[in-house]
Amino acid sequence: MAAGQDARRPLAAIGAAIEAGLPEQAAGMFEAWAHPDPAAALLALLLLDRRDALAEWLPRAETAGLEAALRELGLPVGGPGPDLVAALLGLARDPGAETARVHFASLVLVAGRHRLAEALLLPAWAGHASSAMVARALSGTWMLLGREAQALEAARIAAEAAPQAPEPMEHLAGLLLRAGQPGPALLAAGRAIGAAPQSHQGWRLASTGLLELGQTADAIAAANRAARLSALHAPHAEQIRTAHAAELPAAHAAELPAAGAAELPGDSAAPSPQRPKVQADWARLPTAAVAPPPPPLRRAVATRARIVDALLLRETRTMFSGSRLGYAWALVEPLSHVLLLSAVFFFLGHDSRPPIGDAMLTFYMTGVLSFLFFAHMTERAMDLPAANRSLLLVPAVGLFDILAAKAVLSAVTDLVVAAVTFALLIALGVGKLPEDPAAMVACYLMLFLLSFGVACVNMVASTVTSAWEKLWPSFLRLQYFTCGVFYHPLDMPEDIRNLILLNPLVHVTEWMRQAYFHGYESPFLDIPYLFQWTIGCLLVGTALFAAAARQMRRPA
């Protein structure tokens, strides 16, 4: 008997490893398990999703052994409750059947082994392609595990997969209320009621949503409707009716039915003579899951503009909040680059005569400002999905809105810095006004579009792999030495110059200097080539963004 107990001990260790989030360690334990009991091995294979090996152990597993294996994992066996052994055997015989998998996992979940239930459900999880049954089961599991964002996403998938089933809609409405989104929760509850008008849970959730939205009268009516359908909700209806009756006009409050007395469709009883009859549809909730028509283009654009404007104000307060210098750092940064370059070339004995213009400071500055414009916009986009998880819970806010606000704020900041920097150079007597302001504006506009396209690519790449957040700054350091910040292409050997001119940022730098310096016409500037790069980056960036938008919104 002791030998039998020793043979079963590894199963508990495998279960503990799975619950600790160490599936590789659990698999290693199973591989090292010498002479396992067939029933224990069968249960371990189900937890590890080793479907190909189930047929070998299933014929040898006996009911007594399965009961002992379940007890070792702390699962209740026997008594008047659900038959865990039958559910286990059903899944072992057909591991690809979602119904059997969800049934067994649900019994494990009810027994309090939440992580084991998750391990049983995950093999059937296919993201947005999952069935309503699997998504609903995983949503409940993740909610019990405290992963509310994942639970909400799975609940949305379940509701989309079964739009006519009231229970997934009710579950989604409950999670939306927990997430502080009463508007979407009310819509989900309304769709549940539209699918099943007698859904007492849908009316209860609608009552809570209406109350949070400040629609007290409708909330009381919905609560009364829930109480009329099920006595379980009578305390809730009585509580909010008593607590909020003072908020209603006296005449209106007198018309409200008592808890449990709301009229329903099909009721034949006559209304009480002391209280006027309340119409069945008095609580204004949708009775069918009808999608609203899309708003006109002008209104949609205006709405997005207001969202971006609000995000701009938010980003303005937070962009440099981690630095004591605040926005002063935006001005210090380009000046520090120029002073460092000047010091380095001075100590190296470099000729102080610039290739273009009269002062090295202006020559460096025309290159540094355009490079920093590109670097800031493309680098700040990488952490946007991870840094704005809470903001993305607001249904009206999208990742593109956040990226647009960040890009516009970065561009405006760098343009202001450029204007202040050139004003300082003019005050010092080493600068002047641009020779061709219109060309400089066109150059900055092209640079903005190019940077925005690359920013979209960076946002997607950083979501796919965290290594991109380390690779891109290294690439920017390489760009610093190849985009013509502190040299002119004429100073380079022809072979190297031909390679450098493939870099679109070199053409940005040349365009900037041609617009700034009097009498300078760059022999290397190729605006059509720069335009092709810009359009290509915008197309690739926006296509990748659209393809990965849903993945980027999902919790990490």
pLDDT tens per residue across span 242-269: 766 555 554 444 444 444 443 443 343 3
User: Would you say 382 and 462 are in contact if contact means Cβ atoms under 8 Å apart?
Assistant: yes
- Percent of the chain as helix, strand, coil, to the nearest 5: 70, 0, 30
Rg (CA), the chain: 33
pLDDT for the residue numbered 537: 95
> DSSP states of 233-258 as a string?
GHHHHHHHHHHHGGGS-HHHHHHSPP
pLDDT for the residue numbered 107: 87
Out of 137-146, 165-174, 353-362, 536-545, pick the least confident: 353-362
pLDDT at residue 3 tops 90:
no
Q: What are phi and psi of 409, to 5 degrees?
A: -65, -40
pLDDT at residue 183 tops 70:
yes
Q: Half-sphere exposure of 322 toward its Cβ, with a 13 Å CA cutoff?
A: 2
pLDDT for the residue numbered 181: 86
Q: How many CB atoms lie within 10 A of CB 221?
A: 28
pLDDT at residue 350 tops 70:
no
pLDDT for the residue numbered 37: 83
What is the arithmetic mean of pLDDT over 539-550?
89
> DSSP states of 194-231 as a string?
HH-TT-HHHHHHHHHHHHHTT-HHHHHHHHHHHHHH-G
Q: How confident is residue 221, by pLDDT bands cut at 50, 70 and 90?
A: confident
pLDDT for the residue numbered 446: 96
User: Would you say 541 and 452 are in contact if contact means Cβ atoms under 8 Å apart?
Assistant: yes
Query: What share of the chain in percent tops pLDDT 70?
Result: 81
Report which of residues 206 and 391 the model is more confident about.
206
pLDDT at residue 339 tops 90:
no
Supply 296's token pair.
């006109």
Q: In whole angstroms, give the CA distance from residue 275 to residue 270.
A: 11
Q: In whole angstroms, give the CA distance from residue 307 to residue 295.
A: 16
Question: What is the 8-class DSSP label of residue 355?
Answer: S
pLDDT for the residue numbered 293: 59
pLDDT for the residue numbered 324: 54
pLDDT for the residue numbered 395: 60
At 28-63, the pLDDT tens digits run: 888 888 888 888 888 888 888 888 888 888 888 888
What is the arithmetic mean of pLDDT over 301-327?
73
What is the arithmetic mean of pLDDT over 136-157?
88
pLDDT for the residue numbered 250: 46
Q: In whole angstroms, give the CA distance from residue 395 to residue 402.
A: 13
Supply 127's token pair.
């993201």
Q: In whole angstroms, give the CA distance from residue 11 to residue 19.
A: 12
pLDDT for the residue numbered 519: 86
Q: How confident is residue 542, by pLDDT bands cut at 50, 70 and 90?
A: very high
pLDDT for the residue numbered 509: 94
At 265-309, the pLDDT tens digits run: 334 333 433 433 433 333 444 444 444 556 677 777 887 888 888
Looking at residue 158, its amino acid is A
Report which of residues 258 and 385 the model is more confident about.
385
pLDDT for the residue numbered 325: 58
Rounded (5°) CA angle 84-85-90: 95
What is the arithmetic mean of pLDDT over 325-337?
68
Residue written as token pair 């010498």: 34
Q: In whole angstroms, give the CA distance from residue 110 to residue 116.
A: 11
Q: In whole angstroms, give the CA distance from residue 429 to residue 261.
A: 85
Question: What is the 8-class DSSP label of residue 399?
Answer: H
pLDDT for the residue numbered 83: 78
Looking at residue 232, its amino acid is L
User: Would you say 379 and 476 are in contact if contact means Cβ atoms under 8 Å apart?
Assistant: yes
User: Would you say 116 and 108 are in contact if contact means Cβ atoms under 8 Å apart?
Assistant: yes
Report which of residues 392 and 219 the model is more confident about.
219
Q: Which of 389, 356, 310 is nearest to 487 (CA)?
A: 356
Q: In whole angstroms, give the CA distance from residue 70 to residue 85.
A: 8
What is the arithmetic mean of pLDDT over 162-182?
86
Q: In whole angstroms, give the CA distance from residue 104 to residue 92.
A: 10
pLDDT for the residue numbered 255: 43
pLDDT for the residue numbered 287: 47
Q: What pTM was estimated for this model as a whole?
A: 0.50
Please give, one letter per residue, the 3-state secondary structure of 479-530.
HHHHCCCCCCHHHCCHHHHHHHCCCHHHHHHHHHHHHHCCCCCCCCCCHHHH
pLDDT at residue 347 tops 70:
no
pLDDT for the residue numbered 248: 55
At 459-516, the pLDDT tens digits run: 999 888 888 988 999 999 899 888 888 888 888 888 899 999 999 999 999 999 999 9
